[in-house]
Amino acid sequence: MSTVVGKFAARTVGSQPLLIGIAVLLAAVALLALSALFVPIEPLLRGWLVAFAIFSSVSIGSMTWLLIHCLTGGEGETAAAPVLRPAAAMTPLLVLGFLPVLAGLHQIYPWAADPAAIPADVAHWYLNEPSFLVRSLIAFGGWSFLAVMFAAGCRSRLLAGLGLAFFGLSISLVAVDWYLSLEPHYVATAFAAMVAIQQLLAALAVVALIGPPAIDGKVAGDLGGLLIATLLGVVYLEFMTFVVAWYGDLPDKAAWFLKRDSFGWVSVMIVALAAGAVLPFGMLVVRQVRRSRRGLRVAGALILLGTNLHFVWLLVPAFDHQAAVIAAACAGLAVLALVSLLIGASLGQLLEAHHAE
């Protein structure tokens, strides 16, 4: 097992496109820090968090699919591997992308800026800066280890099972830390599960959009079925969260939804639901479309649009100066997309050569 990973690591050293991609990411992080000298840093940091949430979903979701495929096997595993492996192998680099968030806790999270804003026991035992940092580092460390191992070709079913258990526990913690704690008085028990399934959905959508020609016919049909299942999972959890909050009629839950009750945010949610859920679902239930390469590409693009808008709807209403946050998120996402193209293409070639041996 260590030999497999060692050979892959040796191949990555000195890869010029990979080094360029890492340099671009580090330059973006440095530029974000320098911007604090000239403009208000809060909207930039908050926008970067939104971009990170969208960007990281594909890598984390790809890592999780590799673990699942190790346990289930199937033709879809081989066909999707050229996309899932390099996407998962980028997981260790998420730590670099998260550095601005760690550095700007006081500018992003209300509980970090004012611990008195939350109950004293919560601040003491859970929602504080040292605990936040430890949980984040544990999650990144575990995910990075699993991603590199399985991207490099580890086939340990025991490790895959343990890895999925670790993912379930870690995402339950950090999804609350990173995203839900932006509004610490709101509680939703299904939130972490919804984020996890959305990460799986984003990874599948990328496979559908840019996957190799081998994804066709029956394999495409299987991928389309998985897209339907994960898409329904996200919609169901989001809808049931709303129903429970509406039925409970509690002030803290109502306040969270009322922040998203304006015409603009309702419009964003309608577009996300229509373009990112209803339309691709209607396409994918048609067998001819589901087994068509072109149909899958269109459905994957629509689902990615919907997931991006959904993350924006979830996170941005928690902030002031929302237009500036959205602009910063778009700029950050453009940089991270460029980094993904540079690093992903390099890792894809390295992994292809590695697995060909």
pLDDT of residue 73 exceeding 90: no
What would the pLDDT profile of 242-290 be if each residue is shown by its tens digit? 998 888 888 888 889 999 999 999 999 999 999 999 999 999 999 898 8
Report the percentage of the chain scoring pLDDT > 90.
59
Of 5-19, 71-85, 172-186, 260-274, which gets the smallest average pLDDT? 5-19
Q: Identify the residue whose tokens are 């910063």.
A: 328
Q: Which two tokens stand for residue 190?
A: 């299904």
Q: Which two tokens stand for residue 157?
A: 């079913």
- Grade residue 116 by pLDDT with cuts at 50, 70 and 90: confident
- Judged by phi (left if over 0) then psi (alpha if -120 to 50, else beta), residue 321 lies in left
- Grade residue 81 by pLDDT with cuts at 50, 70 and 90: confident
- Grade residue 211 by pLDDT with cuts at 50, 70 and 90: confident
- Grade residue 343 by pLDDT with cuts at 50, 70 and 90: confident
Taken in order 155, 161, 163, 167, is the CA torsion positive or negative? Answer: positive
Q: Where are the domains of the chain?
A: 2-356
**Per-residue pLDDT at 339:** 86
Report the percentage of the chain scoring pLDDT > 70.
93
Contacts of 263 by beta carbon, 8 Å cutoff, 6+ apart: none
Greater confidence (192 vs 25) lies with 192
**Per-residue pLDDT at 247:** 85
Greater confidence (52 vs 14) lies with 52
Largest CA distance in the chain: 60
- Coil, helix or strand at residue 118: coil
Of 15-29, 79-93, 273-287, which gets the smallest average pLDDT? 15-29
**Per-residue pLDDT at 38:** 80
**Per-residue pLDDT at 7:** 52
**Per-residue pLDDT at 355:** 61
Q: CB pairs under 8 A, 24+ apart, for 238-246?
A: 238/194, 238/310, 240/190, 241/188, 241/190, 241/191, 241/194, 245/188
Mean pLDDT (whole number) for 95-114: 92
Mean pLDDT (whole number) for 190-209: 95
**Per-residue pLDDT at 21:** 76
Contacts of 142 by beta carbon, 8 Å cutoff, 6+ apart: 163, 166, 167, 170
Cα distances from 69 to residues 156, 224, 230, 300, in angstroms, run 11, 16, 15, 20
**Per-residue pLDDT at 353:** 65
pLDDT of residue 357 exceeding 70: no
**Per-residue pLDDT at 9:** 52
d(CA 98, CA 152): 24
pLDDT of residue 6 exceeding 90: no
**Per-residue pLDDT at 32:** 81
d(CA 256, CA 318): 8
Mean pLDDT (whole number) for 45-60: 95
**Per-residue pLDDT at 314:** 95
Mean pLDDT (whole number) for 30-43: 83
Task: Provide the mean pLDDT of the chain.
Answer: 88
pLDDT of residue 8 exceeding 70: no
Greater confidence (245 vs 301) lies with 301
What would the pLDDT profile of 231-242 be if each residue is shown by its tens digit? 999 999 999 999
Greater confidence (25 vs 50) lies with 50
pLDDT of residue 309 exceeding 80: yes
pLDDT of residue 229 exceeding 90: yes
